Amino acid sequence: MVQFKPYFSGEAEPPSRRLASAQKCFRTTDIDKVGNERSLTFFEMLGSFSIGDYFKRGAIELAWEFVTECLDLPEDRIWASIYHDDEDAFSLWQEIALPASKIVRLGKEDNFWGPAGETGPCGPCSEIFYDRGAEVGCGRESCLPGCDCARFLEIWNLVFMEYGQDSEGKLVPLPQQNIDTGMGLERTAAAMQDVGSVYETDLFTPIVGRAGELVRRSYGDDETVDRSLRIIAEHGRAITFLVADGVLPSNEGRGYVLRRILRRAVRHGKLLGREDPFLKEIAQVVMDVMGEQYPEVRVRRDFILEVLAQEERAFQYTLTIGSTIVEDLIAGLSSEGTKQIPGRQVFRLYDTYGFPVELTREMAAEKGLVLDEEGFAQAMFEQRERARHAQAFGLAKEGEFYRSLELPETGFLGYETLEATTEVINLARDGQVVDEVTEHDRVAVVLRQTAFYAEAGGQVGDTGTLSNPAGEIAVSDTQSPLPGLTLHYGTVTRGSVRVGDVVVAKVDEARRLDIARNHTATHLLHKALREVLGDHAQQSGSEVAPERLRFDFTHLQALTTDELDAVERLVNAKIRDDLPVVTQVTDYEAAVASGAFAIFGERYGDEVRIVSTGDYTRELCGGTHLRATGQIGFFHVLSEGSIGRGLRRIEAVTGRGAETYVRQQLHLLGRVASQLGGTIADVESNLSALISDLESQRKEALESQRSLARAEVSRVLEEVREVNGVSFVAAEVEATTMETLREMTDWLRDQLGSAVIVLGAVVSGRPGFVAAVTPDLVDKGLKADQLIKEVAAVVGGGGGGRPTLAQAGGKDPERIAEALSLVADLVGRR
Ligand code: ATP
Ligand code: MG
């Protein structure tokens, strides 16, 4: 009735005082009930309207006539509800059609139609119900129209629109009394065809039937299966129409609703064992059944099928990623003996990958695990809090502040020009509106119009200057805290600026061009990735700055060098093709119809801008671009990496940035080359020569160390002494590493068979000791770890190890001999 509002309020003249309509209707209010016998998200609504013509009596008379004579529904099955104190309606229904016992009084919730909390026409209403019989009802004494059970089916709602609600919520009579009625086609068909639910009417049987074929189950055998088939049919029908009407899957607003119901349909297919994509098949029957009445689904057939297929593939992808993560998780937890998946992990799956919680729960249950539901709820709660917090303290707070100032929208000239002469209409300093700002003040400036681009769609805000002879502000950032309002943040660098001043607002041109290069290149990159990797490689975020661009997208594995090369080559080829960059402003539907690529998660107004680069890319985009791709100059990928499972990030440079980067790399290479004593061409051979040189030197050094060590060992073998029948060695040797020292100890032990060995050496300027005790002596109470502690204590150090082998360090290399001299005593003392 939205389009009829001005007629009801008397603001506009209707084409006729009596009107009738048939229209598509999509509501999310009943989304969780879908699957029951009567609640749909998408349905057809028939309406009749009287604009100041007939009122209650006429409406009830006509409704009764239509229901009983035109539709031929049996009179004894009809009931009505009225607004509880609408005595007029009560007596009219009695007079015209029904006994008092079949007129039910209901409250405001059900029977007062009005704009919740808003202004607009409203009034009491009266609903018409079809009684499907006590046998399908709940059987309770209190079961009457309005009951939640399946018995009474509301088919038609008559609204007696006689009031207007003002901004304080008061009801004031409208200049004329109106009628607005809505009748659900599917429910009415169910009543007329006398079937158990809307799904058994001729509107739905072909769709439900096809769904059954696709999952190889038939309708009517099993309640759970039936529910899934109904959901697939209903959601399949709804998404076909949503896409036909220009809604595209996204993470926000209506796009998110579409995504949600689409995913729900896919999931129910999966529950019934369907692994392959199937939504296209459902959409196809929907088009067959409804295409005659709604030609848009036929006209846009290919587009709809493609959007659905793409989104279904993307969701399959999400499911695949999610499933692997869940499996890993479950395996990990099971090996630790944990039976519960932490709420945080569940939340991450849901939040980062869009993996449905029900699915996580289901997969966990199969493996005998449960979810930490409380932890999950807590994580959800915290996220909402974070969002609220961010809103309270971020740009949104600024948005509130500026909303209350009611400033005019800032005109944006930045697509055509980089400089504008304009007027300062608001100045703020430290969150306070001021008339004048002076040197060194940090300020936020609102202009009547501007060439400065406010950060949006990943593109950073412009910088530049606002100046006139009396003062200048250096703008360091531009943001839009409110749709239509541009805020220039900066510092006064000269003189002063007052509200009302005329200033020249000049964008830093070189920087803006750098940004444009990166932005246009981002579009090329997006397309090139899809070409090289496949359609699943979809943008999940981007940041376009002057010095580089960052592009996040969905893909499971790291890109191979070949893939990355292919992407780079493709983008550079399109740069050399010097494709013209053309922008076109149109309405959203036309844009989508023309095949423009809408980025998931972006919000678009009714008017959208399409940016295309030749025939290569076509995207909805509000950013600032080049005139032709040739201006990008050169595109070079700096890095490619993972930012989470299934999400990759590419960082790249273009134009000046790429030039600087390449030059720096070449200079670096040049310096390396000359250090290696040759040119860049010789770098590799010179470097491998150097490496093999070093390698053989290292080997030689190692060899000589070993032979030195062997010589030392033979020397030490001559110093074996005995105390109390125990052989022992305590000697200072030459060894450059602790490893050599240990090795020498090993050799000695092998030679001696039964002995206590303590070696000391100066290793890297500090004392180092290794002690070994053969097992037979350990049994007699000699322990390497104890020995070494006392030895090392002399040099101010400590150490440890096992009874058979221990090592220690210290501080004072001068006292190694003294420390070793303790050994004889220590062994003897045992
Ligand atoms: P209900 O409470 O039964 O869901 P409603 O009071 O929200 O319906 P109205 O806003 O009065 O519905 O809409 C007018 C008519 O549109 C209803 O009488 C019904 O026939 C039909 N209708 C409303 N919602 C749905 C729905 N979810 N599925 C199918 N038909 C519906
Ligand atoms: Mg109703």
> 132-145 pLDDT, tens per residue?
999 999 999 889 99
> 376-399 pLDDT, tens per residue?
988 888 877 766 555 444 556 788
Q: Is the CB of 30 under 6 A from ligand 1?
A: yes
Helix axes 822-829, 784-794, angle to 10 degrees: 140
Which of residues 474 and 165 earns the better pLDDT score? 474
29 CA to centre of ligand 1 in angstroms:
10
For 13-30, what is the mean pLDDT? 91
Which of residues 88 and 385 earns the better pLDDT score? 88
Q: Which band of pLDDT confidence, cut at 50, 70 and 90, is reported for residue 492? A: very high
Asked whether residue 711 carries a pLDDT value surpassing 80, the answer given is yes
691 CA to centre of ligand 1 in angstroms:
80
240 CA to centre of ligand 2 in angstroms:
26
Q: Is the CB of 130 under 6 A from ligand 1?
A: no
Q: Is the CB of 43 under 6 A from ligand 1?
A: yes
Written as six digits, the tokens of 221 are 């055998």
Q: Is the CB of 604 under 6 A from ligand 1?
A: no
Q: Is the CB of 740 under 6 A from ligand 1?
A: no
The span from the CA of 293 to the CA of 286, in Å, is: 11
> 732-769 pLDDT, tens per residue?
998 888 988 999 999 999 989 899 999 999 998 899 99
User: In this predicted structure, what is the pLDDT of residue 106?
Assistant: 93
Q: Which atom of ligand 1 is nearest to the CA of 110?
A: 6
32 CA to centre of ligand 1 in angstroms:
14
Got the DSSP string for 465-496?
EEEETTEEEEEEEEEEEETTEEEEEEEEEEEE
For 281-293, what is the mean pLDDT? 95
For the question of whether the overall pTM of this predicted structure is more than 0.75, the answer is no
The H helix count followed by the E strand count for the chain is: 25, 33
Asked whether residue 655 carries a pLDDT value surpassing 60, the answer given is yes
Task: Look up tokens 């209350």; give the residue.
Answer: 404
198 CA to centre of ligand 2 in angstroms:
17
Asked whether residue 225 carries a pLDDT value surpassing 90, the answer given is yes
User: In this predicted structure, what is the pLDDT of residue 735?
Assistant: 87
Asked whether residue 54 carries a pLDDT value surpassing 50, the answer given is yes
pLDDT, averaged across the chain: 90
Contact (Cβ atoms closer than 8 angstroms) between residue 741 and residue 706: no
Beta bridge partners of 48: 20, 181
Half-sphere exposure of 10 (CA within 13 A, CB side): 11
- The residue whose CA is least distant from atom 24 of ligand 1 is 39
Minimum mean pLDDT range among 1-15, 39-53, 202-216: 1-15
Provide, rounded to the nearest whole percent, the portion of the chain with pLDDT above 70. 95
Mutate which of 24, 27, 30 for ligand 1? The one with the most ligand atoms within 8 Å of its CB, which is 30
User: In this predicted structure, what is the pLDDT of residue 229?
Assistant: 97
Mutate which of 67, 187, 231, 241 for ligand 1? The one with the most ligand atoms within 8 Å of its CB, which is 187
Asked whether residue 829 carries a pLDDT value surpassing 50, the answer given is yes
User: In this predicted structure, what is the pLDDT of residue 392?
Assistant: 45
Q: Which residues lie below 8 Å from residue 120, measured CB to CB, with a gap of 6+?
A: 5, 9, 114, 164, 165
- Give the three-state DSSP class for 149: coil
Alpha carbon distances (Å) from 226 to 35, 36, 216, 269: 8, 10, 12, 12
The span from the CA of 623 to the CA of 461, in Å, is: 10
Which of residues 334 and 99 earns the better pLDDT score? 99
Phi, psi (rounded to 5 degrees) for 375: -60, -40
Mutate which of 157, 159, 241 for ligand 1? The one with the most ligand atoms within 8 Å of its CB, which is 157
Q: Which atom of ligand 1 is nearest to the CA of 185?
A: 20
Q: Which atom of ligand 1 is nearest to the CA of 184?
A: 20
Asked whether residue 830 carries a pLDDT value surpassing 90, the answer given is no
526 CA to centre of ligand 1 in angstroms:
43
Q: Which of 295-299, 328-332, 551-555, 746-750 has the highest average model confidence (pLDDT)?
A: 746-750
For residue 190, which ligand has an atom nearest its CA? 1
> 343-380 pLDDT, tens per residue?
988 988 887 777 878 778 877 887 888 999 999 988 88
620 CA to centre of ligand 2 in angstroms:
39
145 CA to centre of ligand 2 in angstroms:
11
Q: Which band of pLDDT confidence, cut at 50, 70 and 90, is reported for residue 647? A: confident
Q: Is the CB of 111 under 6 A from ligand 1?
A: no
User: In this predicted structure, what is the pLDDT of residue 595?
Assistant: 64
User: In this predicted structure, what is the pLDDT of residue 166?
Assistant: 80
Written as six digits, the tokens of 232 are 């697939």
Q: Which band of pLDDT confidence, cut at 50, 70 and 90, is reported for residue 592? A: low
Contact (Cβ atoms closer than 8 angstroms) between residue 344 and residue 375: yes
- The residue whose CA is least distant from atom 4 of ligand 1 is 39
The span from the CA of 610 to the CA of 581, in Å, is: 10
User: In this predicted structure, what is the pLDDT of residue 245?
Assistant: 82
Q: Which band of pLDDT confidence, cut at 50, 70 and 90, is reported for residue 605? A: low
- The residue whose CA is least distant from atom 22 of ligand 1 is 184
Q: Is the CB of 112 under 6 A from ligand 1?
A: no
> 250-282 pLDDT, tens per residue?
766 778 889 889 998 998 998 899 989 999 999
Q: Is the CB of 155 under 6 A from ligand 1?
A: yes
Q: Which atom of ligand 1 is nearest to the CA of 153?
A: 3
Q: What angle do CA 276, 282, 285 make, to 5 degrees?
A: 145
For residue 30, which ligand has an atom nearest its CA? 1
Asked whether residue 71 carries a pLDDT value surpassing 90, the answer given is yes
Q: Which atom of ligand 1 is nearest to the CA of 182?
A: 14
Beta bridge partners of 608: 586
- The residue whose CA is least distant from atom 12 of ligand 1 is 157
127 CA to centre of ligand 2 in angstroms:
6
Which of residues 31 and 191 earns the better pLDDT score? 191
Asked whether residue 425 carries a pLDDT value surpassing 50, the answer given is yes
Which of residues 510 and 117 earns the better pLDDT score? 510
For residue 154, which ligand has an atom nearest its CA? 1
User: In this predicted structure, what is the pLDDT of residue 5?
Assistant: 80
